[in-house]
Structure 1
Amino acid sequence: MTQLWALSARELARLIQAREASAREVTRAHLERIDQVNPVLNAVTLVLTESALRAADAADAAVRRGEPTGPLCGVPMTVKENIDVAGSATTLGIAGLRDAVAHGDATPVGELRAAGAIPVGRTNMPEFGMRWHTANTLRGATRNPWSARHTPGGSSGGDAAAVASGMTPLGLGNDGAGSLRWPAACCGVAALKPSLGRVSHSGSHGQPQPAPFAFQLLAVHGPLARHVADLRLAFAHMCGRSGGDPWHAPVPLAGPAAPAPVRVSVVTDPGGRVDPVVAAALRKAAGVLAGSGYLVEERQPPMLGRASEIYHQIMSAWGRVHEHQPPVATVAPGEFARFWETFEPAWTAAAGTPAFDPMMERAAIARAWHTWMRQAPLILAPVCTRPAFETGADLDPRWQADWPDRIRISVTVNLLGLPAVTVPVGIEGGLPQAVQIIGPRFREDLCLDAAAAIEASTGPLTPIDPRPQPRA
């Protein structure tokens, strides 16, 4: 019999509604799984045992009484430590915020609770969410369940590792530069980066005031899961309320049917040298989509290099508020300070020639992409042009030099506010392979459809037990 912790969110919700399993049983199964594997992975930073069991008991009582319950009734979830969960600290991975307890839920957390989901834990992240590996001085490093030698990704690496190892069927993270898609690719799970405006940013980042402009424009909350159908289910129930977010757009979840066959542009040269393992994953996904009735062809998007430069200019000017923060080394000493000091030259170079008005150039790029995507609404691309790197590699300035080029396509998605779904496509060298499907704004439905077609052919890769560490 399949263990409860190994089931999908949809199947767990069905079992609870049918009274074939109780919400308490489901919650306990995941809490026990956390006890079993988290000491190895260090993905869950705080286990919400008491509040989770209370919520599970309340859900079971409602089911027994025949009361209406939400579509995620009794389904566990984890939440990254830069999203408010009432009664727990929103640390941003920073030791100085270990006691910054949130008095209420961020809007998407509240929406998922209203649908019946139960937070069972908080998850690890790098300081400020500004690194592509998950480690910090407050919580330590998170291990990739596939390989202790390789990064779980960042900055939502805690959620990705937790989902991949069966500690939770759903994770809630965010993506400002691939921070959902990259860890999902590293850990072999699926993730959805929604369109700008879909999911409220209210109650995020532990701040009573809104986030800096760059994060409002470039970063969004989204779900991680082992199954594309679970992404769709969670997404449908986390974007209903604005929570006072001025960017929020109450757009229908499904748009008009795209003309058949749906056309897909494959981006084989997104910038930087494409690793053969990444190129093979792209070819495999393209073949699956072609076999599923999509019209697949290689096409290069417009202004991709300049889009990456404008992204870095906006994030530098309106995201990194130096004048309002003490030096990095005093807030996040140790490895993060070292990372940021060595990465600063690569970051600065990635901004390119300063724009007279970055937002004006952003609008021109968005218009060019809109015209280009009218010919083919979907894009198949790598998340990054290299697979998961070995831990510590991102502290090497030589390694860092071309990283902005490696993730050029992913940050362009953030710049333009487009939706994207990361989906696994296989295993190579003991590590998962993945691709992303990018769509027009507010067409998450098209991205999810294509990702589901890939998943139907390749199958989910997880949950897995943490792989043993190699012998010295």
Structure 2
Amino acid sequence: MAKNDLWRLSATELTALTRAGDVRAEDAVQASIDRMKAVNPALNAVVEDLSSEALERARALDKARANGAQPGPLHGVPVTIKINVDQAGHATSNGVTALKDLIAPADAPVVENLHKAGAVVIGRTNTPEFSFRADTDNPLFGRTHNPWGRHISPGGSSGGAGAAVMAGIGALAHGNDIGGSLRFPAAANGAVTVKPGLGRVPAWNPSQTAERGLLAQLMSVQGLITRAAEDLHLSMPSLIAADPRDPFHVPIPWRGAALDGPIKVAFTKNTHGYDLHPEVETALDFARDALSDAGYQVEGVEPPCVFDAGRTGYRALMGEIYALMKQDVDAAGSQTVRDIFAVYFQEFPPFAGEDLLRMMAKRTHYARQWSLFLEEYPLVLSPFLPQPFFRPDRDTEGAEGVHEVLGCAVYSYAMNFLGLPAASLPARLAELPGGPQPINVQIAARRWREDLAVDACAAIEARAGRMCLPLWEKMQAASA
């Protein structure tokens, strides 16, 4: 493969070459930088270009390897970091103009773990203000566009990450997820991700001056967005390495024990009163059949209390946000984001006082029901969204817009409230009036068993193919 085509490789394919010494880290990084310079101006996915320091780091990795150093598992892999996580010497702006000069004094655990594994950060990716929209736009850096076309939102809040990795800017993209912010961009762009469970990936920002609210701590996780399921198996063991700055991190291996017999998968199309689009149903059927043919035992079974857990959890989170974050949004947010938050509080009436405490306590009830269910069905295949992904700025269109964007996404934030792993991957490329559009499905898993969800993603991907390939053809045709 020509040096300038190395950006096309998955992280797994690339490390087979870099670790063997067949490809220099500098060449791998340069190829991704060249791709970034070619496509990012039209996407605005990467909002801080770190090319110079990336090449310097890549050369240092090559020199160390030449001197006998053992290459790390992600040796020379180009990655991006979301701008709401600390990277030493760079601003953790979180898409907020007032924070544009908040320079991180040290790396967050996820950045440090990626560095230790040999990855090279080539840029920092865009997020909406306060990282609290399912779309990506802010007054500081502007709008991120979906590489499939401007008729589709890039998702959020890790919208820059999803657009970047699918366009070929880096083989891995860091993101995070408090209600769907890894899975929304994956669904929007046709990428693969797994939202880790609670305690799986160490998290902390050295720049923060106060601890986050308890529900934010319980629902928010760090993760990666990729173009291929195999890259999650490659990279997540490095991401989950322990860090003492997160006192609640759970240091257990990525791979759990093999399960006896065929793995049972609960399959549901229930969208809890929201209309199920025919293309989403077709994608679900495709995923079901792919898993069945791969040896999984797929059964039509309803998992417990999805709607109640999801709505209760998000209303509780909104109660915490109203009490602890609303003042910051009002003071530093744009009128657009203030208006969106006002509608959030209508769509998800915040619990307060004793009600908030009771609903936080009820989280254990929901989690116990799921724990018992997952004893029999270790995986749950479900919709992610009931409809194809929405258009940009749909959440600025009042109650109806927020209802379509977040109100219907109960399978998303229910998993955050429960603290369970949940993967998202494309199972279909739909031909819709605006153009081709990926359709993702969700696979939830037992606690601590992200690996089972990723295995299932790989089985579906083996039949569906990698969505980046038709995307790159489309992008090339558009630029010709």
Give TM-score, length-normalised by structure 2. Answer: 0.93
Partner SS, residue 173 of structure 1: strand
Partner SS, residue 448 of structure 1: helix
- Per the TM alignment, residue 259 of structure 1 is displaced from its structure 2 partner at its CA by 2.2
Q: Are the equivalent residues in 2 in contact too, given 1:347–1:404 (CA < 8 A)?
A: no
| Change in 2 beyond 3 A, CA 1:469/1:40 | farther
1:177 to 173, 176, 179: 179
Q: Are the equivalent residues in 2 in contact too, given 1:308–1:350 (CA < 8 A)?
A: no
CA distance in 2, matches of 1:467, 1:15: 27
Partner SS, residue 326 of structure 1: helix
Aligned-partner residue type, residue 446 of structure 1: L
Correspondence for 1:160:
162
Correspondence for 2:123:
121
CA distance in 2, matches of 1:349, 1:467: 43
Correspondence for 1:436:
442
2:143 to 136, 141, 144: 141
Partner SS, residue 426 of structure 2: strand
1:13-412 map, 5 Å: 13-203=15-205, 206-271=207-272, 272-322=274-324, 326=327, 328-348=329-349, 354=355, 357-396=358-397, 397-401=399-403, 403-412=405-414
Q: Are the equivalent residues in 1 in contact too, given 2:193–2:225 (CA < 8 A)?
A: yes
| Change in 2 beyond 3 A, CA 1:49/1:375 | same
- Per the TM alignment, residue 43 of structure 1 is displaced from its structure 2 partner at its CA by 0.2
CA distance in 1, matches of 2:328, 2:243: 34
- Per the TM alignment, residue 403 of structure 1 is displaced from its structure 2 partner at its CA by 4.5
Q: Are the equivalent residues in 2 in contact too, given 1:266–1:381 (CA < 8 A)?
A: yes
Aligned-partner residue type, residue 449 of structure 2: R
Q: Are the equivalent residues in 1 in contact too, given 2:18–2:76 (CA < 8 A)?
A: yes
| Change in 2 beyond 3 A, CA 1:80/1:321 | farther
Partner SS, residue 374 of structure 1: helix
CA distance in 2, matches of 1:201, 1:355: 25
Partner SS, residue 468 of structure 2: coil
| Change in 2 beyond 3 A, CA 1:32/1:404 | closer
Correspondence for 2:421:
419
CA distance in 2, matches of 1:349, 1:213: 15
Bigger shift: residues 59-68 or 28-37? 59-68
Correspondence for 1:455:
461
More helix by share: 2
Aligned-partner residue type, residue 42 of structure 2: V
- Per the TM alignment, residue 363 of structure 1 is displaced from its structure 2 partner at its CA by 0.9
Give TM-score, length-normalised by structure 1. Answer: 0.94
Bigger shift: residues 40-49 or 207-216? 207-216
Partner SS, residue 134 of structure 1: coil
Q: Are the equivalent residues in 2 in contact too, given 1:202–1:243 (CA < 8 A)?
A: no
Deviations 1:307-331 (A, max 9, x none): 0232123312334444x66363431
Deviations 1:158-190 (A, max 9, x none): 000000000110001001111101110110110
Identity of aligned residues (%): 36
Partner SS, residue 401 of structure 1: helix
- Per the TM alignment, residue 293 of structure 1 is displaced from its structure 2 partner at its CA by 0.7
CA distance in 2, matches of 1:319, 1:328: 10
CA distance in 1, matches of 2:451, 2:415: 16
- Per the TM alignment, residue 245 of structure 1 is displaced from its structure 2 partner at its CA by 1.4
Partner SS, residue 31 of structure 2: helix
RMSD: 2.1
Aligned-partner residue type, residue 457 of structure 2: A
Partner SS, residue 357 of structure 1: helix
| Change in 2 beyond 3 A, CA 1:161/1:295 | same
Q: Are the equivalent residues in 2 in contact too, given 1:83–1:90 (CA < 8 A)?
A: yes
Aligned-partner residue type, residue 14 of structure 2: L
Aligned-partner residue type, residue 270 of structure 1: T
Q: Are the equivalent residues in 2 in contact too, given 1:312–1:350 (CA < 8 A)?
A: no
Deviations 1:38-86 (A, max 9, x none): 0000000101112111110011112212211201111110011111111
CA distance in 2, matches of 1:321, 1:37: 41
Partner SS, residue 433 of structure 1: strand
Correspondence for 1:445:
451
Aligned-partner residue type, residue 442 of structure 2: Q
| Change in 2 beyond 3 A, CA 1:50/1:276 | same
Bigger shift: residues 299-308 or 126-135? 299-308
Q: Are the equivalent residues in 1 in contact too, given 2:237–2:253 (CA < 8 A)?
A: no
Bigger shift: residues 325-334 or 186-195? 325-334
Q: Are the equivalent residues in 2 in contact too, given 1:147–1:469 (CA < 8 A)?
A: no
Q: Are the equivalent residues in 1 in contact too, given 2:319–2:351 (CA < 8 A)?
A: no
Deviations 1:232-291 (A, max 9, x none): 111100111233212211122222212221100112113222222211111110010011
Deviations 1:344-394 (A, max 9, x none): 31122899x946612321111111111112221100012211221111222
Q: Are the equivalent residues in 2 in contact too, given 1:174–1:221 (CA < 8 A)?
A: yes
Count residues in correspondence.
Answer: 467
Partner SS, residue 362 of structure 1: helix
| Change in 2 beyond 3 A, CA 1:468/1:95 | farther
CA distance in 1, matches of 2:339, 2:278: 30
CA distance in 2, matches of 1:208, 1:50: 30
CA distance in 2, matches of 1:115, 1:403: 36
Structure 1 unaligned spans of 5+: none
Q: Are the equivalent residues in 1 in contact too, given 2:318–2:345 (CA < 8 A)?
A: no
Partner SS, residue 436 of structure 1: strand
Q: Are the equivalent residues in 2 in contact too, given 1:202–1:244 (CA < 8 A)?
A: yes
| Change in 2 beyond 3 A, CA 1:468/1:114 | closer
Aligned-partner residue type, residue 338 of structure 2: A
Q: Are the equivalent residues in 1 in contact too, given 2:311–2:414 (CA < 8 A)?
A: no
CA distance in 1, matches of 2:41, 2:416: 34
Bigger shift: residues 370-379 or 137-146? 370-379
Q: Are the equivalent residues in 2 in contact too, given 1:136–1:335 (CA < 8 A)?
A: no
CA distance in 2, matches of 1:6, 1:321: 46
Aligned-partner residue type, residue 37 of structure 1: V
Deviations 1:125-165 (A, max 9, x none): 11111111011111101000001111011000100000000
Structure 2 unaligned spans of 5+: none
